[in-house]
Structure 1
């Protein structure tokens, strides 16, 4: 299946994908998240799409909606080897509650870690390289063979996402963003209505949750992402890359 997906993706010219993305954004303007997910998972990208989730503070709602459309959809979580133990337990509990049957953990290559981070302390001196080897490269490997993937990013999360569309083209692969127009209040209301369990660290002062060494508690009134790489200029992990390789976003997956 993976070889077939790769062949099909490679056979579609980039220009036609650009045109398709524009057409899809026009078609699904004002559509609900479930309508977008149903089209992407069951129709256009059937068998060729995966969902990527951090199982973080805002992940439960999109995972629930995806499970309603297809509980067999591949759900990829990048396990950096530095995640909070609470996140790993939350992943398992949430997947069981939602009936997700195909949750996959993608870890960094042992050889890559041995080469650039043998002591496991690279995060202290070079967070960009640490994120690249522990997040970006594993995700690239996990998405091999897929022509599309689903992200949980939302327009309210940052100024760089204010004009985020429902569909994007990135490195020859279409990215689907079903929740772009949802607000923080929308997410909370939907989670409460469906009695979705929150990530246990949220109640402890972590509104944005990444790797344990690089995530700290956020004080009342601070930006929700203030606890990520605190004291550094870095604000994103680099997972969401434009086709030219510039880092544009890195959370909400």
Structure 2
């Protein structure tokens, strides 16, 4: 009798687990479809949701968070939030689009000196939340939103005799493209053996923190910036 009861309890728990998984999957699909619809309406582009998380936030924040990318660009991953009622609260599509434009410039310029890189740039003090032009240029963005400065995190492949000077021309190029707006970058030099794996994962990040690099061998770090005073090198142990 006791064994039958335990068996029935086990079956019940298993069925409830399956039900919960199916329920979450159904809810996720519904919410993903809603995110995609809201973003397509805003930007007149098709998007794909890859992750749903932070469902209904906290007691003071009734939102759902998702990771999204345009259908035609899997590397442009950004975050979006909507309320449980299905209203789009925020998204970082335009800032991440600007970040990718900066990344392309840096990759091209650093390639000239034999460096492989990827860069993720944050825009400081610029509210472009109402912007709907998916093709906005760097010049248009800066002219319209007047960001205070740009702060970037970069990974580069370990290279013999690498120094701060290798980055100077590339940073000046970006500074010019940003209409002489302060541009700073924290460079992480990744071991040659691990760079390819690191690069693939880094390209899909909507944001990055220093803790992310604990999974990789960072051979060196540099903090560089360009502003009206020119190219400067900062102590990596000090905060910006």
Output the TM-score relative to the length of structure 1. 0.22
Larger Rg: 2
